[in-house]
Amino acid sequence: MLKFILAIIYFIIGTLLGSFCTLAVYRIPLKEDITHKRSFCPNCNHKLNFLDLIPVWSYIFLGGKCRYCKKPIRARYIILELLSGIAFMVFGLSFDIDLYNTQITDLIFILFGMIYLCVFEITAGIDFENKKFEKGVLNFELIITIIYMLYLCILGVNMYRYIIYFIIILGMFIFRRIKPSYTLDLITYLLLALVYIGTKTMFLTIIVTLFAIALKNIIDISNKQEKKYAIGGIFSVILIINLVIQNYSLI
């Protein structure tokens, strides 16, 4: 029963974070505020109230339409909220927390995991929509990575390889300022993710990503289409799936 309650809590948190991520994907490329500015309908610009913003349920109760202008709301919102809810639920349950004997370290690792999952989701959304990485998102991920490394240091983890990662990451941030490019942003993003996910998950994700891109390339060639692939977005989606599957296998 307690595990069921935790699952519901994780799912609700996941849908809330998923809703925030969809907002961030829309606003960050437009340089709009993502924390203080009230949500609004992109069709009629009417400000939304609390009942319009309940993840999943608002979409269902409103019939997939704006309450004010009756224009259809893109289905991607409810899809991303549901998928986020499921991903965060499985991720949270993998820690097998005992409500009567909760360890603070477990809660902190769950917090870091949820933050990283949000970063991966936002990165994927922006890259799929705009085929680019946002400087602000990478800077935020750098800050979170520094805090995560400091926490590992406090726990007494051997920091040798993390220090090497961090030196390389700082070098990439310098190179990005000298000569900005999608490739440098992608490498920087991979290195930042590596600090959290580890080498095994990183290699697996890269291999699956390359396979997915090759398969898509074959399909596009057969259809005589030439497209610029959102490599960072594809990588992020596969990374999230790998993390969820990996954690689920540990339940």
At 190-211, the pLDDT tens digits run 999 999 988 888 999 999 999 9
Percent of the chain whose pLDDT exceeds 70: 92
Give this prediction's pTM.
0.88
Residues 27-50: tens digit of each pLDDT? 899 888 887 777 877 777 778 787
Tens digit of each residue's pLDDT (9 = 90 or more) over 137-153: 999 999 999 999 999 99
CA pair distance 157, 170, nearest whole angstrom = 21
Question: What's the chain look like in SS3?
Answer: CHHHHHHHHHHHHHHHHHHHHHHHHHHHHHCCCCCCCCCECCCCCCECCHHHCCCCHHHHHCCCECCCCCCECCCHHHHHHHHHHHHHHHHHHCCCCCCCCCCHHHHHHHHHHHHHHHHHHHHHHHHHHHCCCCHHHHHHHHHHHHHHHHHHHHCCCCCHHHHHHHHHHHHHHHHHHHCCCHHHHHHHHHHHHHHHHCHHHHHHHHHHHHHHHHHHHHHHHHCCCCCCCCHHHHHHHHHHHHHHHHHHCCC
170-197: pLDDT as tens digits: 999 998 888 888 999 999 999 999 999 8
Q: CA 123 → CA 64, 68, 108, 199, 224, distances in Å?
A: 25, 31, 23, 20, 28
108: CB partners within 8 A, 6+ apart: 151
